[in-house]
Amino acid sequence: MKTKYLISALRTRIFAGIVIALMSSVPASAQQDQRTAGSMPTSNGKSVNDTSETYRQLNLFGDVFERVRAQYVEETPDKQLVETAINGMLMSLDPHSSYLNEEDFEEMQVQTRGEFGGLGIEVTMENGVVKVVSPIDDTPAYRAGVQAGDYITHLDDTPIIGMTLNEAVDKMRGKVGTSIKLTIRRKDVPDAIEVSLVRDVIKISAVKHEVKENDIGYIRITTFNQNTDSGVRKAVTEIKEKAGGKLLGYVIDLRNNPGGLLDQAIAVADDFLDKGEIVSTRGRHEEDTKRDNSTPGDIADGLPLVVIINGGSASASEIVAGALQDHKRAIVLGEQSFGKGSVQTVIPLPGHGAMRLTTARYYTPSGRSIQAKGIEPDIKVEQAKVEKISSAGIHEADLRGALKNPNEDKANEKSQDSKETDGEKKAEDYQLSRAIDLIRGVSLYSTRKQ
């Protein structure tokens, strides 16, 4: 009995020390807000009654922790219990707050940097083995002939079955210059394929671009990592060089972009804005409000912009779309975005990973909060497959024996064939084809207005 009392008292003192340490780090403004009428405040802003209640709740946690350690059917490491408890507390706040242990924190940093040592394949898990979604251009996997749809069954002769996807990915990543052997099963190939690859520096391509139909710049942004803004600037430069003086405008594709770094979203929006606010972040206290404004200069030289979004466009993507829409710099086309209007701050915990905590909401320049609402497109266009429908009407050319147009020649026929081929290609992506049409319409209207 005496021993139990000593343990309980010791635990209470430990928790009290934790509480005091936490309270000492609370900002003065937060301490002021926590004061209540009728209670004597302590030196750190908490009332005596509030502090006592905090101790009591922490004591409850200690009681549960000790019972689980002593009586749970299977022995569970203390570290796992504490990490799970912390994660449960954070995840109960909102869907985006969470605890990152050392491994999760390191993985997040790798994704943010957009550069790591590896093989260069996008993968998923299917039926217990790793399936290749796509090899990344100009990487060891691409050069070795790894194909989309391949199944990786062994890594260095170790079966993948039984591994999680993260474990398999961790094994494929590694120090640049080291080698690994993959055993691959491929459809319609009876025997297993074995390839030895040397890990190289893999850069996650956040931006892809091309010139559509010789005069429309197309920029696809897949994520907002440390390379996104520089990638967008490079894309615009190369598009200008390829299109020459024929460029009519740009399509910025943010579909299925889950977001990423806030500062990169601000930088990308700033690339196309010459003045005005881009986004404001507003935290719990008024003094936490921060506004980010654009700087002079528009890398698109004022040409028309169309931004495509859908239900997979979230967070940083919505900041860019909302800023360009509010300033009437771009027409937003597509479907309503995801609606993640909160900002997460990653707070490192030395020796224990980090915590991802929601610390603010963000607002578009007009003051819109898109939390749980999303960005409404200016022109709603759902993704659909376009099929050619025959017209019920009859034209002169349909009549038997109708005279041919004397101006029609092989060149025109070739041009018409080319247009039909382009139409078939555009039918593969209905939203993109509508965005291209819109750029042409805006450009045509601007020209006539002049």
Q: Name the active-site residue from 97, 212, 271, 340.
A: 340
Q: Is 97 a catalytic residue?
A: no
Give, rounded to a whole angstrom, the gap between the first and last alpha carbons of the chain: 93
- Ordered DSSP codes for 25-65: TS-HHHHHHT--TTS-B-TTS-BHHHHHHHHHHHHHHHHHH
Compute, in degrees rounded to 10, the torsion defined by CA atoms 329, 331, 218, 256.
Answer: 110
Q: Is 246 a catalytic residue?
A: no
Q: Is 326 a catalytic residue?
A: yes
Domain architecture of the chain: domains with CATH: 115-203 (2.30.42.10), 207-380 (3.90.226.10)
Rounded Cα distance, 160 and 146, in Å:
17
pLDDT for the residue numbered 258: 83
Residue 431's closest CA among 253, 194, 278, 265?
A: 253
Residue 16 and residue 42 in contact, taking contact as beta carbons nearer than 8 Å: no
* Number of C-beta neighbours around residue 99 at 10 A: 23
pLDDT for the residue numbered 320: 98
pLDDT for the residue numbered 447: 66
Run of H or E residues at 447: helix 430-449
Query: Going by C-beta distance under 8 Å and a sequence separation of 6 or more, which residues neighbour residue 131?
Result: 123, 124, 125, 149, 150, 151, 152
pLDDT for the residue numbered 292: 98
Q: Name the active-site residue from 317, 326, 342, 433.
A: 326
Q: Name the active-site residue from 315, 317, 337, 342.
A: 315
Residues 423-443 as b or e (16 or more Cβ within 10 Å = b): eeebeebebbbbbbebbbebb
Q: Where are the alpha helices (DSSP H) in 44-203?
A: 48-71, 78-91, 102-113, 140-143, 165-172
Query: Going by C-beta distance under 8 Å and a sequence separation of 6 or more, which residues neighbour residue 340?
Result: 96, 259, 314, 315, 318, 371
**Can you read off the two tokens belonging to residue 437?**
């049409």
Phi and psi dihedrals of 197, rounded to 5? -120, 150
Q: Give the relative orientation of helices 410-427 and 430-449 as an angle to the nearest 10 degrees.
A: 120
Rounded Cα distance, 298 and 270, in Å:
8
Per-residue pLDDT of the chain (450 residues; tens, 9 = 90+): 444 433 444 454 444 444 434 433 333 333 333 333 334 445 455 666 678 899 899 999 999 999 999 999 999 999 999 999 999 999 899 988 999 999 889 878 876 776 677 898 878 788 888 988 778 767 899 899 998 889 999 999 999 998 888 788 889 988 889 999 999 999 899 999 999 999 998 777 899 999 999 999 999 998 899 999 999 999 999 999 999 989 999 999 999 888 889 999 999 999 999 999 999 999 999 998 999 999 999 999 999 999 999 988 899 999 999 999 999 999 999 999 999 999 999 999 999 999 999 999 999 999 999 898 999 999 999 987 544 433 344 555 555 555 565 655 554 544 444 444 444 444 479 999 999 999 999 988 776 656
Provide the residue type at 57 as one letter: Q
Rounded Cα distance, 302 and 445, in Å:
15
Phi and psi dihedrals of 53, rounded to 5? -65, -40
